[in-house]
Amino acid sequence: MANKFQGDQLIIGNLGDSRAILCTRERYQLIPIQLTVDLKPDLPSEATRIVNCEGRVFAAEEEPDVCRIWMPDDDCPGLAMSRSFGDFCLKDYGLISIPDVFYRKLSKQDEFVVLVSDGIWDVLTNNEVINIIASAPNRGIAAKLLVKKAVRAWRYIYLGSKVDDCMVVCLFLDDEQPVLSHSHSKNIGKHPSKHIHRN
């Protein structure tokens, strides 16, 4: 996922199952506005393209809630998104690398944009995410705080199973000099160790 500003225009290109949300304020209430669509293989338009290219879309028995794209005659690689860079073995079977592009005109009520990987969305809602970011004691640690809460939610909901990648980028809009905050989850379960935090 990539984002770009042109004046008061926000342009976001997405080709995975990450999500961008905007936090805007209506009087005293924070409102999440989902800016992108999670590009999962079971979205009707995505599934149609995949099936028309002879790919298959289904959920494996061990993960009945996770639809994946599969080769025509082999139960691999089982990719849980319908658009991606790489994954060359699926490119002839409906996987594409063309991003969905979303536009939004920003207003003075818009406070921040959050770009978040699917590991966060597996355990937190749009509302929870913007409230966690808004509650950070300072903007420089907002992304780190969200990752910490998501990891805690994974441990509680999935009872010790591996934690999916939790990556967060926050861009605060209401200053003359926007503040960027981003963070990755640390090594938990089967994922490699990586933790980045920068103001």
Q: What is the pLDDT of residue 180?
A: 58
Is the predicted pLDDT of residue 198 greater than 50, yes or no?
no
Residues 56-74 pLDDT 10s: 999 998 889 889 999 999 8
Domain at 2-37+99-184: CATH code: 3.60.40.10
Neighbouring residues of 175: CB distance < 8 A, sequence distance ≥ 6? none
The pLDDT tens digits for 159-171 are 767 777 888 999 9
Q: What is the pLDDT of residues 81-122, one digit of tens each?
A: 999 887 788 999 999 999 999 999 999 899 999 999 888 988
Domain borders along the chain are: 2-37+99-184, 44-93
Alpha-carbon torsion, ordered 45, 41, 81, 164, to 10 deg: 130
Mean pLDDT of the chain: 84
131-169 burial, b at 16+ Cβ within 10 Å, e below that, comes to ebbeebeebebbbbbbbbbbbebbeeeeeeeebbebbbb
Query: Confidence band (pLDDT; 50, 70, 90) for 21?
Result: very high
- Note if the pTM is more than 0.85: no
